[in-house]
Structure 1
Amino acid sequence: MSQISLKNLYSLIPEPVIVNLESMENYFRSVNILKLVLKWKVHLSVILGITLLFSVVFSGKHFIPPRYKSFAIAYPSNVAPYSDESETEQMLQIMQSASIRDSVVNRFNLIGHYGIDTLNALWRSTLYYEYGKNIRINKTPYEAVMIEVLDTDPILARDIINGILDAYNLKVRSLHNNKFEEVVAMYKRHLDRKKIKIDSIENRMLKLGVEYGLVPGYDEQSREVMRGVLKTSGGNVNSPEVARLRKSLEEKGGEIVYLVSLLQADALVYSDYQKEYDIAQMNLDRQFSYVNLVTSPDIPDKKATPVRWIIVAGSLLSVLLLSILTIGILENASLKVSFRKSSKQ
């Protein structure tokens, strides 16, 4: 009986409650903040109202000029990498080069457009900062190049992209032409040297023909001389002429054979050089486009910045947090003053 009573007694004891002190502390803090907001709601409403008004006014176009964004996506074309980089990386590097930047700056007078004072010692750094802030050239995940331009003038934003593409084409063409000019000049030197050698061979052969009566048809001449010597050609044989040709063939026959073979070999080499020279000239003369434009730049009709609701929301949130922090400091100071007064009493 006593055991049953003891068990019943134990069953009446409630189970221990596990309290998360951190959660309770956060809860009381939230409650305190809510109380502060309710206590100062009128002041906060006025402050937020004034903030809303100012943020709407100062985010307008009279204070922050709207900027428009135009963009283009392009792939490289008719180019070959110089080292381990891809064609896209090469295109990106050229578009980000100083020569392209300076070309665009001069073509569109960006110094005046950005309102940069050239009398300032740091005007060039300011110009490059504005250029980098408003003009972005990056590689896409699909190995293309995207050009983005932000500007207060939507037409100029579009034109700057076209200007970058034009400057890129001219730059690549200039780089290629410099190399092709070197190739053309190389083959031209080879052709000139080979032409001089061929001319010297022909002059020597001409001299042999004039002085010794030898012509490039050495085999035919030899046959005719042998007929004259053996008197098998029929008719009257010009014996003195046969004797003269025989003597010339004996003295200079080997040379004329050598000159003929040398002339033929040099003529083949000259012909090969001429083909390569023509190809190099064709490459030098080509007017290729080095851009495959996937997305052409358009004139934007909607501003990209500023986004007014972000400015307004950010202003309201920051002012609200700052106001609550200030109210908390004031309330804490007030409690300390009250505590000191009560402790003195």
Structure 2
Amino acid sequence: MENFKPSIDEKVNFDSSNFFVFLIKWRKILIITTFVAGVIAAIISLLIKEKYEAKVTMFPTMSNAVSKALITDQFGNEDILQFGEEEQAQQMIQILKSNELRDTIIKKYNLAAHWKIDPESKYARTKLYEEYKSNIKFRRTEYLSVEIIVRDEDPVLAADIANSIAQLFDTMKLKIQRQRALEGFRIVERTYLDIQNQIKQKSDSLKWLNDKGIGDYNLQVERLTEAIGREIGRGNSQAVKILQTQLDTITKYGSVYKQLNEQLALLNRRLVEFQQKYDEARIDAFSQLPQKFVVENAYPPDRKAYPVRWLIVVVSALSAFVLTLICLIFYENYEKYRDKIIKSDK
């Protein structure tokens, strides 16, 4: 038996007229399969639980530190009214997806019971987290805002969850920032209080020296020396003795007084410099600003968002039509090739 090898002319090609004839030939099968697929899809779509969609739209803020936005010399570079950019939007989404925020929402609304997940069942936690992930989504828009999208069978609950997540974002971000801000404040506070303590010690020492009559070292030495000279000229030995005692005391403690004065001046300058850092650290640790601009809060929707039944029916029917069409084309080509092979054998 010779091998059958179809020529180019013998290959089947569907032009518009041939394709139309093909559709007419197999119209019954195509219509039936398309209709049946549509009916099945419609029935299945009716079994899918309806869900309502609630949405919160918000922008991140540009400024994070309260002190930078309000009291530093760089005011203007950190405008508290400026919207965040792409980096801040990505950070916002990362916090919204955090495990702590997710677990807080699940616990607050008892979502395990709401979604009918038995906590004692196998892989209960995994099922709960998967359900959360499928019903609660976060996305960055083209305008660099962030949307919190919640779907649920209960429209009121969907809106409540979306709004709660938006509120929790502030709590979560401020908690993260405050941990670092408090540690920074403690470091600055220790240094600030240490400088204050040193100033007090130096001031107390200077007061003790002042009580001994020591003040401006150079001026006092000059005046006492002149006074001793005058009293020597007058032959007043008693006065000379008293003045000499004062001069000896000033000479003894004068260098200490001068050194303390210089140290005190340096410490006062450091205190002024640290005062601003201390104020900034204290504000960052104990004050807070909202970390978002809410453009639109969620409200209970009055129209379902899922499933879109007509779309399910149309897509299913078209898919069935195309798949049936492809199968029929292969079937008809196979029949033609088989007949040609049989004829060539004869």
Aligned 8 A contact 1:78 1:288 in 2: no
- Aligned residue number for residue 10 of structure 1: none
Question: How far is the alpha carbon of 1:328 from its aligned partner?
Answer: 11
- Aligned residue number for residue 76 of structure 2: none
Question: How far is the alpha carbon of 1:149 from its aligned partner?
Answer: 1.0
Partner SS state of residue 159, structure 1: helix
- Aligned residue number for residue 48 of structure 2: 64
The percent of aligned pairs where both chains have the same amino acid is: 24
* TM, length-normalised to structure 2: 0.72
- Aligned residue number for residue 8 of structure 1: none
Map of 1:24-35 to 2, 5 A cutoff?
Answer: 24=14, 31=21, 33-35=23-25
- Aligned residue number for residue 283 of structure 1: 284
C-alpha RMSD over aligned residues: 3.9
* TM, length-normalised to structure 1: 0.73
Aligned 8 A contact 1:52 1:312 in 2: yes
**Distance in 1 between residues matched to 2:292 and 2:104, nearest whole Å:** 18
- Aligned residue number for residue 132 of structure 2: 131
Aligned 8 A contact 2:217 2:258 in 1: yes
Aligned 8 A contact 1:74 1:146 in 2: yes
Aligned 8 A contact 1:79 1:87 in 2: no
**Distance in 1 between residues matched to 2:45 and 2:63, nearest whole Å:** 46
Question: Which piece of structure 1 moves more, 114-123 or 315-324?
Answer: 315-324
Aligned 8 A contact 2:56 2:149 in 1: yes
- Aligned residue number for residue 182 of structure 1: 183
**Distance in 1 between residues matched to 2:14 and 2:205, nearest whole Å:** 114
Question: How far is the alpha carbon of 1:37 from its aligned partner?
Answer: 3.9
Question: How far is the alpha carbon of 1:275 from its aligned partner?
Answer: 2.6
Aligned 8 A contact 1:80 1:87 in 2: no
**Distance in 2 between residues matched to 1:106 and 1:197, nearest whole Å:** 52
**Distance in 1 between residues matched to 2:252 and 2:126, nearest whole Å:** 82
- Aligned residue number for residue 73 of structure 1: 57
Q: Residues 328 and 247 from structure 1, CA distance in 2 versus in 1: closer, same or farther, beyond 3 angstroms?
A: closer
Question: How far is the alpha carbon of 1:204 from its aligned partner?
Answer: 3.1
Deviations 1:107-159 (A, max 9, x none): 22212211111112311111111111111101112222122111111111111
Question: How far is the alpha carbon of 1:327 from its aligned partner?
Answer: 10
Give 2:297's aligned amino acid. S
Q: Residues 321 and 260 from structure 1, CA distance in 2 versus in 1: closer, same or farther, beyond 3 angstroms?
A: closer
Question: How far is the alpha carbon of 1:177 from its aligned partner?
Answer: 1.2
Question: Which piece of structure 1 moves more, 238-247 or 137-146?
Answer: 238-247
Aligned 8 A contact 1:201 1:259 in 2: yes
**Distance in 1 between residues matched to 2:302 and 2:10, nearest whole Å:** 56
**Distance in 2 between residues matched to 1:268 and 1:325, nearest whole Å:** 87
Give 1:175's aligned amino acid. I
Give 1:72's aligned amino acid. V
**Distance in 1 between residues matched to 2:324 and 2:257, nearest whole Å:** 109
Q: Residues 241 and 309 from structure 1, CA distance in 2 versus in 1: closer, same or farther, beyond 3 angstroms?
A: same
- Aligned residue number for residue 205 of structure 2: 204
Question: How far is the alpha carbon of 1:225 from its aligned partner?
Answer: 2.8
Where in structure 2 are there 5+ consecutive unaligned residues?
1-8, 66-84, 333-346
**Distance in 1 between residues matched to 2:90 and 2:127, nearest whole Å:** 27
Question: How far is the alpha carbon of 1:318 from its aligned partner?
Answer: 6.1
Question: How far is the alpha carbon of 1:190 from its aligned partner?
Answer: 0.6
Question: How far is the alpha carbon of 1:80 from its aligned partner?
Answer: 5.4
**Distance in 2 between residues matched to 1:238 and 1:116, nearest whole Å:** 102
**Distance in 2 between residues matched to 1:26 and 1:176, nearest whole Å:** 68
Deviations 1:34-92 (A, max 9, x none): 34545x79x949x94x87776656544xx3331111112211114459xx971111112
2:157 is aligned with 1:167: no
**Distance in 2 between residues matched to 1:85 and 1:65, nearest whole Å:** 36
**Distance in 1 between residues matched to 2:257 and 2:295, nearest whole Å:** 65
Partner SS state of residue 86, structure 1: helix
Question: How far is the alpha carbon of 1:262 from its aligned partner?
Answer: 0.9
**Distance in 2 between residues matched to 1:284 and 1:77, nearest whole Å:** 18
2:267 is aligned with 1:266: yes
- Aligned residue number for residue 114 of structure 1: 115
Question: Which piece of structure 1 moves more, 21-30 or 139-148?
Answer: 21-30
Question: Which piece of structure 1 moves more, 292-301 or 24-33?
Answer: 24-33
**Distance in 1 between residues matched to 2:302 and 2:239, nearest whole Å:** 100
2:211 is aligned with 1:228: no
- Aligned residue number for residue 14 of structure 1: none
Question: How far is the alpha carbon of 1:288 from its aligned partner?
Answer: 0.7
Question: How far is the alpha carbon of 1:231 from its aligned partner?
Answer: 4.5
**Distance in 2 between residues matched to 1:111 and 1:261, nearest whole Å:** 70
Aligned 8 A contact 2:39 2:313 in 1: no
**Distance in 1 between residues matched to 2:95 and 2:259, nearest whole Å:** 55
Aligned 8 A contact 1:73 1:147 in 2: yes
Aligned 8 A contact 1:116 1:126 in 2: yes
Alignment coverage as a number of residue pairs:
304
